[in-house]
Structure 1
């Protein structure tokens, strides 16, 4: 840490070696009136990248401080006036450069339509949209959109590709306002070239009803729209990458796009055995996940991974897809996409878990290896048609098909408190399955009258899932009683067949009408129907004869229906939006365990209030509060009273006596983002209180853990986060500090003893990076996190552990000819509860040479895990156990790759022409 602070001091001192000056002036109109809050931007004359900017105060004055010696362009914009541009020269002897009064001319057209060739306004605010000019944030040749987003103030990109903008998760990424491969944002950000983008627009997308009616209902979805450059909207662009390395590592990426005024066609491909995915892996996880959610320890856990999930182990990916958007007319447009992914994942894992009882604890360890394969097909279609100016239709359909197989073997042991082995299981489990999921919805919207502006919205949807699994289980079980001589052995050989069919359909209706100025009343009705049937047949293999095991087999159906009637009052003004809603919901569940002649009925009638409040304190400065309630039914797996012995040491059984959860959620957001100084504050607080919370109870018997879902009185969860980011212009750096805190409280069961649990977790992260990234791009930082659990009736079962990480990245670009990149991260895991401290350093480096005209070609040599220390570690703390997993992961390799970028004639696609001069 001392070395990092020393490096920061050196970098800070280097920025002050050259002389600096303040640039001052006043912005007025032809009538000598001060123009308040005009945007004043200082650009580098050499490449038009942004250096600094300011806003005029109430006297029309501005000041740009600490500007280094050099040649610049001064650019001033103000709504309703022509853009002003002038050359500014800062000399070595200048301390203050006074520009005097600058007069803006009134525009003959809207400022949003004014285009000044060769000039780049970094940021514009248009109503509720924050718009970044991509050319003002320099990227490297052949960078993708994800690299561009990392440079935008107020935008964060995590290592898994997930995006936060203005402190909120980005749910959608559009391309020229249209979907790109459905709703997967990573496909656009990881496959489209950065130099194809002219503007990045960030806004809160309203609900379908609000967009059509103009009545804000408080529902928001953080969205990014990528507006392409004009030469990319008509023509072909894309890239092709191929690489090969040591240990037969390979990499291949393909991106081709053909756009015109009516059509967008894109195809992508991703092929590698280096653990890289250019897409989300939800299909893979949902198929391979099985019963993991029910076999765990219930709510209240915190997972702190370094390299788990699909980045762990050894992953081979083959994926590709097509996206097609077509405008038949101004009233009708079509969007179609198809995506195929084939993933193979090899995992060799050692897991040690400490399980807590009412008195004392016991240890389980599991050494496993598995190979899983999953092939997924995903098809989406959306058709929008405007019938006339008062009504429209929207049809959405989808189909996903997943096929997979799993081969796994494990050796698992249970130890008592004095580390004697109680039980040992040598388990082989192989399975294959198929999951098919078609879905569709139809939306109709209608406006009535020119004055009343009443709006009717109708939506119907259907969703079906068919999941087939065929598995073989072969387990050798050894029990060790107190006398080792009396050990008992048992072998289980079974075939397990399961068919899970689900069908759901829904209908939503909404009618909105004004009651007085800026106030509207909305009547809503919603009906939702779920039907599910599970048929599970388990056969014991006895002397090669398959005999049905009635105790483990089951046939179960469930019908769950709810009707909800709601009335909402919407009160909207220019700065405030308030929605107050009251709903009555009647839900009925009928279950039938056909194989046991057991009927399950559960009817619930609830009042479900909802409140949404948003108040604008200023531009990009607001506070939002959301409160809602919900009823959550137990799943069919949680209800059926049938044993699942997929893991003979961890047997799960459902509970037909479960009742639905009743949950209260409160979320408070505070955002204060100055798009001109880049200073931002994001604060978030959430509280969740669940009555009749569904959690898991674990009962330990000799050599076996039996888990069952149960209701407890309540569960309370509190979470908060605070982020502060600001540039420090005197040092030429940007800083970002983020802290997160969590608290959980509620009753749980340690074996058969009910006790109270309190959990605390938190994380602090600091990031420092340079501002001028035209030649050198660096960042460094660190994080520290903790996790603490304690129990009222068993102080010895208290758990706590800590983790820390340090990271640094450095890129040096020599005139877009040669680029050198290196990065290192070091993760520290504390010894508390796990026996020993672990330190995992990962160091990577690469050097690139750009060739051919306009840097179309890139030859790159890269090294991953230079120190050969990569090891996947996942630590988990839940209500009644603490666990540490180590996964053998991809280690050191060297790779040589070549990238060819297909670009329009003329290079990067930026506009040509000379800047206007006085």
Structure 2
């Protein structure tokens, strides 16, 4: 059904593109007196307010040029040459004329002019201590492109074929427009920036010194998009669809409309994924009677996602700005489980069994948030009020069968319903002084409650309820934060302090009503070694608190009767992170490199959980560990441009991890990321990526190594508005093979799972509409977060 829907959408989409093609015709310019052709005449298209909508086109030696019309905002064609009078042609007159060639006569204005010079603006890269700015205002090379094409020119930033932005491989970026959050563009830049036309962009800025209030959200850098004269108007959007060889498909629609001081955005997304696999078991049962068992099972994993986003931005005056957004998300997933276990029950006999199961999960999530920004005329003062409310629901049904070596069968089902509510607010006030000193402070409030309802049905009890859990748990965090930023010609220093009071309430254990007082300092120092190189040092203390899994009851999907709570005593973990590095650039951005050393120390690792004992009908504490972890890793990365068409980016991380309470958990690990993009003429582009990760250590074990490869071919069409992309993932291996060996006194089993790896996907997208800028600068609210 979904495949048919996607094919129909593609056909409609193709028809939509066909109808939206430009009407092209030839303009021939001649001298009104001599009737001779006129070369080097500039031709642009404008709207009713004389805003330029297209890059200039120049006539050839025979006085001809090709021009296209495809937008309802197009009002007139303007022809200019310094020794002739300006000529304006109404678009309606051209549309009414069905001729493919239009002859335009120009009247001379300077008869004695012998020569003239044409100049243009080129993009420039401006490098400062804690920010890099790429200016594209007036650069005709970007008139037809989008924001993603502009962002690619910043150092250490790569974009995937589907528009996903990647900063230093795994760093988190916060996207702002004209210095403030901008609805869906800030919340979901990967799906929206490809629709934002570059002709209204003045510059893009990568800011590495992040305020404390954003660092608490995990933000590593800010990407600010500044538009020409601080304003734009019009309507743009994109429609996109994709299919792959595993019968997966996806559709996305986004639209942005801004008129006067009001902006509306909407984004809708649907996608489905399938990950089939095959599991082969070869078992030798040793007792009570020796026997061999071989099985082959086909496992399915299907995932359906639906999401919708709406946002509203209002600029009341140059002093006030309001941003409100809302999101809705739905996920449906089915997973087949196949596992083998050996365990010791309450009796003295070993019981070995195989498990076959299926898990159905359904998630709903709704979120509403916003921010009100107020600026004052004097002292660079700013007041910000933000809020967020989120409600989510999780439903899980697990049904399974245990097959014992004695040939007895046990069926069991588990239902898990979980409701979460989250409320957060923030009030901040900042001041910017003339000596480049910035002070900001604020208060924040965070409250989250979990309520779980778990029911286990056991075949032994004739489908009676074996256990029910219905508890309400809460986390309440109040904090006061402040930071001071000092900017100088040679250095930038940011010192932040966050004081938090956290309260935890676990209804399952009344004695765990706990309040914890925490001080979290932050030091971020950057020094300009040269004009094109910067050294930096950063220290930050962070806290990992009990999350939803820790407080609410969790279920092992491969064993529905295995119920547990992680970190039931609500202990929190403190992390100390140190970073020391240096960045080096070139003016033309042909070469950039960074190196970084990171050290993370966690003095109080906590690993304790309680499990449910079906015999005692109560929870018991199975394990509790207190130790420390130390991790070092060295990161080296950079980008290189060759022959103006090849862009190579490479990062490599080499690290060491140790856990003080376990001699086995000490190991080296490595991670490598490679990206190469080759851009050809006529809007062709090839991109290849590779990511290799060795075993990643944790204080409870290891995560398996991963290898991912992809190569894609991209072609833009329809005046750079449409694109078609063909991508092949994991083209080296057709499938992954995972092996598992189990050996007990009664059972020897070799389990091999075959998971398809190779995947080919096709994506088609089209960007519609247009944005124009104001001919004069408009005073807008510009957040102090990017001012210096």
TM over 0.5: yes
Secondary structure of 1:186's counterpart equals helix
CA distance in 2 between counterparts of 1:668 and 1:689 reads 15
**TM-fit CA distance, 1:651:** 3.2
1:221 aligns with 2:221: yes
The aligned runs of 1:445-464 (5 Å cut-off) are 445-447=374-376, 450=378, 453=379, 455=381, 457-464=383-390
Residue 525 (1) aligns with residue 393 (2): no
Contact 1:698 1:707 in 2 (8 A): yes
Cα displacement (A) at 1:426? 3.6
- Match status 1:741 vs 2:745: no
Cα displacement (A) at 1:581? 3.2
Cα RMSD of the aligned pairs, angstroms, is 5.3
Distance 2:701 2:481 in 1: 45
Q: 2:255 aligns with which of 323, 333, 338?
A: 323
Asked if the contact 1:170/1:224 (under 8 Å) is kept, the reply is no
Which among 299, 323, 330 is matched to residue 402 of structure 1? 330
> Structure 1 residues 375, 490: closer, same or farther in 2, change over 3 A?
same
Return the offset for 1:863: 9.7
Task: Indicate the residue corresponding to 2:372 in structure 1.
Answer: 443
The yes-or-no answer on 1:185 pairing with 2:203 is: no
Structure 1 unaligned residues grouped into runs of 5+: 1-44, 46-115, 212-217, 234-259, 276-313, 353-364, 481-486, 749-753, 792-796, 806-824, 826-841, 877-882, 905-918
**Could you say if the C-alpha distance between residues 744 and 326 of structure 1 is closer, same or farther in structure 2, counting changes exceeding 3 Å?**
same
Kindly report which structure 2 residues correspond to 1:629-778, keeping only aligned pairs within 5 A, or say none.
629-640=541-552, 644-648=555-559, 651-654=562-565, 655-676=567-588, 678-695=590-607, 710-726=624-640, 737-747=650-660, 755=663, 757-763=665-671
Q: Secondary structure at the match of 1:433?
A: strand
Report 1:43-58 matches (<5 A).
Answer: none
How many equivalent residue pairs? 611
Q: Deviations over 1:9-28 (max 9, x none)?
A: xxxxxxxxxxxxxxxxxxxx
SS at match of 1:318: strand
Q: Deviations over 1:774-826 (max 9, x none)?
A: 899888898876448799xxxxx999998889xxxxxxxxxxxxxxxxxxx6x
Separation in structure 1 between the aligned mates of residue 432 and residue 176 of structure 2, nearest angstrom: 31
Cα separation, partners in 2 of 1:437 and 1:541, compared to 1, 3 Å: farther
- Cα separation, partners in 2 of 1:431 and 1:570, compared to 1, 3 Å: same
Partner residue, 2:471: 556
Q: 1:542 to 1:369 in 2, by over 3 A?
A: same
Q: Deviation at 1:402?
A: 0.8
- Counterparts of 2:591 and 2:320, CA distance in 1: 42
Q: Does 2:277 align with 1:348?
A: yes
Of the candidates 471, 493, 496, which is equivalent to residue 578 of structure 1? 493
Say whether 1:622 aligns with 2:592: no
Q: Distance in 1 between matches of 2:730 and 2:336?
A: 31
Kept in 1, the 8 Å contact 2:156–2:638? The answer is no
Deviation, 1:342, is 3.5
In structure 2, C-alpha distance between the alignment counterparts of 1:219 and 1:891, rounded to whole Å: 32
Query: Partner of 1:911 in structure 2?
Result: none
Equivalent residue of 1:187, what SS? helix
Is structure 2 residue 401 aligned with structure 1 residue 475?
yes
Shift of 1:466: 2.8
Contact 2:120 2:139 in 1 (8 A): no
Equivalent residue, structure 2, for 1:273: 243
Contact conserved, 2:728 with 2:760, CA < 8 A, in 1?
A: yes
Q: CA deviation at 1:494?
A: 1.9
SS at match of 2:507: strand
CA pair 144-790 structure 1, distance change in 2 beyond 3 A = closer
Residue 765 of structure 1 deviates from its aligned partner by 6.1
Cα offset, 1:157, TM superposition: 3.1
Cα–Cα, structure 1 residues 398 and 475, in superposed 2: closer, same or farther, change >3 Å?
same
Q: 2 CA distance for matches of 1:650 and 1:537?
A: 10
- Which deviations, in whole Å up to 9, do the C-alpha atoms of 1:866-896 show, x marking residues without a partner? 98953257899xxxxxx99742245679x9x
- What residue number does 1:378 align with? 308
Distance in 2 separating the partners of 1:440 and 1:865: 37
In structure 2, the CA distance between the partners of 1:527 and 1:190, relative to structure 1 (3 Å rule), is: closer
Tell me the TM-score normalised to structure 1 length.
0.55
Distance 1:602 1:489, change over 3 A: farther
Q: Which moved more, 1:429-438 or 1:764-773?
A: 764-773
Which residue is 1:123 aligned to? 124
Q: Is the 8 A contact 1:509 1:525 kept in 2?
A: yes
1:401-452, CA deviations, whole angstroms, 9 ceiling, x for partnerless residues?
Answer: 314242x333322479xxxx973434232424241322223334343x73xx
**Deviation by residue 1:175-215 (Cα, 9 ceiling, x = unmatched):** 89866655222224556789x7987734228779999xxxx
Classify 1:137/1:191 alpha carbon distance in 2 versus 1 (closer, same or farther; 3 Å): same
Counterparts of residues 159-558 of structure 1 (less than 5 Å): 162-164=164-166, 169=171, 171-172=173-174, 181=185, 183-188=187-192, 201-204=204-207, 221-223=221-223, 225=225, 262-270=233-241, 272-274=242-244, 314=246, 316-329=248-261, 333-348=262-277, 350=279, 369-387=299-317, 391-406=319-334, 408-414=335-341, 423-447=352-376, 450=378, 453=379, 455=381, 457-478=383-404, 480=405, 487=406, 489-510=408-429, 512=431, 517-519=435-437, 521-540=439-458, 546-550=463-467, 553-558=468-473
Q: Give TM-score, length-normalised by structure 2.
A: 0.63
Aligned pairs (5 A) from 1:6-21: none
Distance 2:513 2:358 in 1: 35
Give per-residue Cα distances to partners, 1:677-713, cap 9 Å, x unaligned. Answer: 62212122322222322447899x9xxxx99785532
- 2:187 partner SS: coil
- 2:248 counterpart SS class: strand
Name stretches of at least 5 consecutive residues in structure 2 with no aligned partner.
Answer: 1-39, 41-116, 282-294, 344-349, 614-619, 741-750, 771-788
Deviation at 1:469, TM superposition (A): 0.8
Q: Is the 8 A contact 2:630 2:657 kept in 1?
A: yes
Residue 490 (structure 1) shift: 3.8
Structure 2 partner of 1:887: 755
CA-to-partner distance for each residue in 1:148-190, whole Å, 9 max, x for gaps?
7668765433577543457784625678986665522222455
